[in-house]
Structure 1
Amino acid sequence: MSRATPIRDGAIIAVDWGTTNRRAYRIEADGRVGDAIRDDRGVLAMAADDYPPALAALRARLGDLPVIASGMIGSTRGWHEAPYVAAPADLAALAAAALRIDDAGLTIVPGVSLLTATRADVMRGEELQVLGAIAAGLAPADALFCQPGTHNKWIATADERIIDVTTVMTGELFALLRNHGILAGMLDGVVADGPAFRDGIARGAGTCDLGSALFEVRAGVLLGRRTPDDAAAYASGVLIGSDVGARAVRGQTVHLLAEGALADLYEVAIEMLGGLTVPVDATAAFLGGVHHLRSHLSE
């Protein structure tokens, strides 16, 4: 690192640089969090030439410090690609493969990939939150995590290592259905917990025929089985129920790395299908991940 402050010992700037949003924090040497910045400067809002002045602006606000960044900044759509680390992976493996951009005083944390004889999956950003949750004592070393979002992530860990990841396009599918195709115009109602949402969970969890279950949204409204105002909640329940039902959560503890309305809906679905949810503060998990990661980074 070209900056004088050793990345392992002094204060740093930690950035969760996502697709649409960016969150930056000053972390002191002892792990305490100082000032923070949250904005919409995700990678989709950035061109390659925008990153150096963006980093300079962060330092002007948070201090002239080394920067550790995770998330989509290290993707093919970001600034510099940081190749994936193959699962199983822990914080030491992420640190060993971190991409150092010395002239920018920047370290980019790589994502994690899974490649088996039958499946392929990838993630960027979630890995640091999951491993950070474990390192910070927010979750056990062997755990199942769910991180709802546009692309929902199910992440399994053992011995403080990520051993499996499954990405489900649940949120994206709902957005596509709401805006395109035969259900467009039917899904403008409020999505919230209630009888329609729970009916959808039961339908989605009990079928391998998701396409048919989704068409029933339209047919149910046309035939008077469901009111138009309930169609969106029912369709969301079908999709989330299908997602959660495929994980066989009954009897399992699921660590929910999220907050807000979508997290609440997943909590309902997981517990309705026999699982137990434990909320995990995603910001605290990310900060814990960065703080513990830097102990593995070389000078």
Structure 2
Amino acid sequence: MVSGTDGRGAEAGAYIAIDWGTTNRRAYLVAADGSAIDTMRDDRGVLAVAAGDYPAELAAIRARYGDLPVIAAGMVGSTRGWREAPYVPAPADAASLAAALLVIPEERCAIVPGLSLLAGPRADVMRGEEVQVLGAVAAGLAPADALFCQPGTHNKWVRTEGGRITGFATAMTGELFALVRDHGILAGMLDGPVADGEAFRAGVRRGAGAADLPVALFEVRAAVLLGRLAARDAAAHASGLLIGADVGAQALGGETVQLLADGTLAALYTAAIETLGGAARRIDSHAAFLAGIHQLQELRS
């Protein structure tokens, strides 16, 4: 699937920016002032591209947007992508990332490195999310000192101080829900809709701070079998359990979360954050990415 916006020509384009993920990618034709002239999205993520095919992929994008330099972020710089861009250790800011760009001269392409974290016994990594976070701060979409949440298959919680990313944590919330929905004892019971409502919020409250999350998940089956939970609400409740455990681990205490999300996930995380005593402020993730990637492009120029 390929989608575009207004289809204006490439004559005003200064460079091409690509948010190249695991399953999808989004390419932007960017003007000199950082605004998007056009954008396209397709399913040519790194899992769909062989290691030797990246030059041809860039050629196809340039055929649409013009023979322009490229800057790419995300899983394209991972061990599963094109070429590995070594992680920059946190704390880090845009200047740290720009100084460590992996430049491929023959393709006129730069790949943004991800971030790594070693904090006591914890180890964590990210690729791509850091561009959105730093971009949101640079564009004034979020304060310099903030807690960000980026829901997805692997949800990211990111802390910034003075505009630098000082810490982050990855939660496999979306992946765990997919696993319990499609495999094991709950398979076939979680086919109902997942939406905000009492079943979801009850799950959020049960999951928050639960030291017995595996027990809570089995309770979904028992509650349906014993008539305590309607079968149509089982998926929403199970989702609430996992998102509640995820959000509850942050101990928000009334803090405002900068939520880089839209659609269903934004609604679910907003509900969970508010249920557990926080406040959610939604930010346009595409605008944040553009601001972040433009900042990096400017720093390398």
Answer whether contact 2:35 2:290 (CA < 8 A) is retained.
no
Unaligned 5+ segments in structure 1 are: 1-9
Residue 244 of structure 1 is aligned with which of 247, 253, 265? 247
- 1:35 corresponds in structure 2 to 38
Residue-by-residue CA offset, 1:15-39 (whole Å, 9 max, x unaligned) = 0000011100011111221121111
Equivalent residues in 2 for 1:257-296, closer than 5 Å: 257-296=260-299
- 2:74 corresponds in structure 1 to 71
Is 1:112 matched up with 2:112? Answer: no
Taking the aligned partners of 1:194 and 1:30, their CA distance within structure 2 comes to 43
Taking the aligned partners of 2:278 and 2:31, their CA distance within structure 1 comes to 38
**Pairwise CA distance, 1:227:** 1.3
**Cα-Cα RMSD:** 0.9
- 2:169 corresponds in structure 1 to 166
- 2:179 corresponds in structure 1 to 176
Taking the aligned partners of 1:28 and 1:82, their CA distance within structure 2 comes to 26
Residue 203 of structure 2 is aligned with which of 180, 200, 203? 200
Equivalent residue letter for 1:143: A
Equivalent residue letter for 2:257: V
**Pairwise CA distance, 1:206:** 4.3
If asked which structure has higher relative contact order (CA below 8 Å, sep 6+), I would say 1
Taking the aligned partners of 2:175 and 2:122, their CA distance within structure 1 comes to 20
**Pairwise CA distance, 1:115:** 0.6
Taking the aligned partners of 2:31 and 2:107, their CA distance within structure 1 comes to 20
Answer whether contact 2:148 2:159 (CA < 8 A) is retained.
yes
Partner-residue secondary structure (3-state), 1:131 = helix
Residue-by-residue CA offset, 1:176-196 (whole Å, 9 max, x unaligned) = 001111111111111111111
Q: So what's the TM-score if we normalise by structure 2?
A: 0.94
Partner-residue secondary structure (3-state), 2:193 = coil
Unaligned 5+ segments in structure 2 are: 1-12
- Number of aligned positions between the proteins: 289
Answer whether contact 2:117 2:124 (CA < 8 A) is retained.
yes
- 1:7 corresponds in structure 2 to none
Taking the aligned partners of 2:186 and 2:106, their CA distance within structure 1 comes to 51
Residue 100 of structure 2 is aligned with which of 91, 97, 119? 97
Question: Percent identity over the alignment?
Answer: 69
Partner-residue secondary structure (3-state), 1:58 = helix
**Pairwise CA distance, 1:251:** 1.1
Is 1:132 matched up with 2:135? Answer: yes
Partner-residue secondary structure (3-state), 2:19 = strand
- 1:16 corresponds in structure 2 to 19
Residue-by-residue CA offset, 1:118-159 (whole Å, 9 max, x unaligned) = 100000000000000101110111110000000000000001
Partner-residue secondary structure (3-state), 1:166 = strand
Q: So what's the TM-score if we normalise by structure 1?
A: 0.95
